[in-house]
Amino acid sequence: MSDDPSPILVWFRRDLRLRDNPALREAVDSGCSVVPLYILDETADGRPLGGASKWWLENSLKALAEDLKQAGAPLILRRGPAEAVLREVLKETGARRVFMNRRFEPAAFDADKDIAHALEDDDIECRGFNASLLARPGSITTQSGGPYKVFTPFYRALVEQLGDPIERPAPRDIRGLNGVDTEALADWGLYDGRPDWAAGFDADAVGEAAAALRLRHFIDKDLKDYGTCRDRPGVAGTSRLSPALHWGEISPWRVWTEVANAVTDGTVTAKQADAFQREIGWREFSAHLLHQFPTLQDRNFQPKFDDFPWRSDTRALGAWQKGQTGYPMVDAGMRELWTTGWMHNRVRMVVASFLVKHLRIDWREGESWFWDTLIDADLASNSQNWQWVAGSGADAAPYFRIFNPVSQGTKFDTDGEYVRRWVPELKRLPDRWLHSPWEAPAEVRADAGVQLGKTYPRPIVDHAEARDAALAAFKSLGNEA
Ligand code: FAD
């Protein structure tokens, strides 16, 4: 309990939940009135939200507002430069304290620090908490005190340093403050449905309650086989928690702990749990890397790639974006992304590799398309993974390892379920030809109703030629392939 009876502003950002929310919990436990606030500041942090992110945010704010209303403290929505809005609401409510969960992306981190310093100069207390990562960036260091640049030792150190989780149940009864003006979410026009490009997105998947259900379902049904199914895009074998983790509808601590509990209660083995927990580890690794190497988001982590002879080819880029490359596995992935706002991880690797290696288009073009179209678009995970695929990142796949989109298809979508779902014009082709329709005998294609160049494109590049050209470009940097 604090001696200061004035209300506390809880500034929500990417922590759109009540449970396991340290900023909210501290404010509620103080016994003071709480003013939950969300500020839409589109000019902040250097990069506007992508379209799919705005769609998710709108739905997630609806869910959060409902949960907060039930608990007794309505969510206040305001738009404008964050510091000015905070000052406005502090003045209107008589609050003298702002509690927030930190963001660790470099621009957001610096902006938060500047705002906190400016408010503290005026005797406003600002408290920051970590609600988005298992460990605060900077806390996992090598023996010499520097940041890890390789995943496995980072992960080992992370696991060794994990303490016991702190349980923070969702507050059910929050002392709110009446009479604070709020804007209407609908007036923000985050997603106006014209045209309705998000018709295929799943609104039922958004929000804290949906995330909790998804985690439960995943642990009970899919965790056991995650290690074997996670690479099969035709099977719903992964958690689909990425947008919920990005927007903070669920905490990584809760995910980690419930998976660990599943080992304790015998639902899965430690090995089965580890296959999944390592992926949560990759999320941490990405966030820590970006925090410590701010240019990761738009500059090659390995400077030797600065001289890479990227091609500028708007037609090829457009064909990739629309899922019209003539490579079924690539096209299926890009169409899944456009239709649902999400893409399976194995296919993300295949389409990214195709863009940077087969088409030799700069990874930043792909990163930016993903930024706009993914519901889980995340600065750290997106840039880290694009650089991983491009070969320019930390602990990256070597550039000369070039995915063959046909063999990736036959290996990971053997029965063609994934390609048939997203590229229905090929669905009558036999499995044998499904991933390389141009190799099918003419009569097989005719029987399946496939006319190359008419009903489905011919490949926009030849795999073997593209591979040789990519390797030659790589060698031009002075590397041996
Ligand atoms: P699961 O397999 O169930 O994994 C559980 C969680 O672990 C995920 O929700 C995610 O938070 C984390 N995770 C899994 N794989 C990775 C990974 N390789 N890197 C970092 N975290 C991981 N993920 C994003 O969240 N946002 C992005 O913007 C993003 N961009 C990507 C771009 C490319 C080119 C590639 C290859 C991968 C990208 N990923 C990104 C990582 C990964 O594809 C997604 O996190 C995953 O597919 C989400 O599905 P899921 O929740 O079912 O994952």
Predicted local distance difference test score (pLDDT) of residue 351: 98
**345 is a catalytic site residue:** yes
Binned at pLDDT 50, 70 and 90, residue 314 comes out as very high
pTM (global) more than 0.85:
yes
SS3 per residue for the chain: CCCCCCCEEEEECCCCCCCCCHHHHHHHHCCCCEEEEEEECCCHHHCCCCHHHHHHHHHHHHHHHHHHHHHCCCCEEEECCHHHHHHHHHHHHCCCEEEEECCCCHHHHHHHHHHHHHHHHCCCEEEEECCCCCCCCCCCECCCCCECCCHHHHHHHHHHHCCCCCCCCCCCCCCCCCCCCCCCHHHHCCCCCCCCCCCCCCHHHCCHHHHHHHHHHHHHHHHHHHHHHCCCCCCCCCCCCHHHHHHCCCCHHHHHHHHHHHHHCCCCCHHHHHHHHHHHHHHHHHHHHHHHCHHHHCCCCCHHHHHCCCCCCHHHHHHHHHCCCCCHHHHHHHHHHHHHCCCCHHHHHHHHHHHHHHCCCCHHHHHHHHHHHCCCCCHHHHHHHHHHHHCCCCCCCCCCCCCCHHHHHHHHCCCCHHHHHHCHHHCCCCHHHHCCHHHCCHHHHHHHCCCECCCECCCCCCHHHHHHHHHHHHHCCCCCC
* Residue-averaged pLDDT of the chain: 96
Closest CA to 461 of 354, 364, 367: 354
**If you average pLDDT over residues 142-160, what whole number do you get?**
96
For the stretch 209-222, pLDDT in tens is 999 999 999 999 99
Predicted local distance difference test score (pLDDT) of residue 478: 77
Residue to substitute in 345, 350, 355, 412 for testing ligand 1 pocket (most ligand atoms within 8 angstroms of CB): 345
- Identity at 231, one-letter amino acid code: D
Binned at pLDDT 50, 70 and 90, residue 195 comes out as confident
How far is Cα 148 from Cα 289, in angstroms, rounded to an integer?
8
**55 is a catalytic site residue:** no
**If you average pLDDT over residues 100-116, what whole number do you get?**
96
Q: Is the pLDDT of residue 256 over 80?
A: yes
Binned at pLDDT 50, 70 and 90, residue 193 comes out as confident
Predicted local distance difference test score (pLDDT) of residue 237: 96
**What share of the chain in percent tops pLDDT 90?**
92
Q: Is the pLDDT of residue 144 over 70?
A: yes
Predicted local distance difference test score (pLDDT) of residue 4: 76
Predicted local distance difference test score (pLDDT) of residue 250: 98
**188 is a catalytic site residue:** no
Binned at pLDDT 50, 70 and 90, residue 480 comes out as low
Predicted local distance difference test score (pLDDT) of residue 196: 87
Cα of 100 vs centre of ligand 1, distance in Å, is 25
Looking at ligand 1, which atom is closest to the CA of residue 352?
34
Tell me whether residue 399 is exposed, middle or buried, using C-beta atoms within 10 angstroms of its C-beta: 0 to 12, 13 to 18, 19 or more: buried
Q: Is the pLDDT of residue 20 over 60?
A: yes
Residue of the nearest CA to atom 6 in ligand 1?
A: 280
Q: Is the pLDDT of residue 48 over 80?
A: yes
Q: Is the CB of 378 under 6 A from ligand 1?
A: yes
Q: Which residue has the tokens 């099977």?
A: 235
**If you average pLDDT over residues 155-163, what whole number do you get?**
95
Residue to substitute in 206, 245, 279, 353 for testing ligand 1 pocket (most ligand atoms within 8 angstroms of CB): 279
Q: Is the CB of 14 under 6 A from ligand 1?
A: no
Number of H helices, E strands in the chain: 20, 5
How far is Cα 317 from Cα 312, in angstroms, rounded to an integer?
9
Q: Is the CB of 245 under 6 A from ligand 1?
A: yes
Q: Is the CB of 286 under 6 A from ligand 1?
A: yes
**385 is a catalytic site residue:** no
Q: Positive or negative CA dihedral for 115, 120, 122, 123?
A: positive
Q: Is the CB of 230 under 6 A from ligand 1?
A: yes
Binned at pLDDT 50, 70 and 90, residue 339 comes out as very high
Residue of higher predicted confidence among 5 and 44: 5
For the chain, list the domains and their CATH numbers: 8-130 (3.40.50.620), 133-167+206-292 (1.25.40.80), 303-475 (1.10.579.10)
* Contact indicator for 385, 286 with CB cutoff of 8 Å: yes
Looking at ligand 1, which atom is closest to the CA of residue 280?
7
Predicted local distance difference test score (pLDDT) of residue 56: 97
Max Cα distance, the chain (Å) = 83
Q: Is the pLDDT of residue 1 over 70?
A: no
Binned at pLDDT 50, 70 and 90, residue 2 comes out as low
For the stretch 218-235, pLDDT in tens is 999 999 999 999 999 999
For the stretch 403-429, pLDDT in tens is 999 999 999 999 999 999 999 999 999
Q: Is the pLDDT of residue 192 over 90?
A: no
Q: Is the CB of 373 under 6 A from ligand 1?
A: no
Q: Is the pLDDT of residue 481 over 70?
A: no
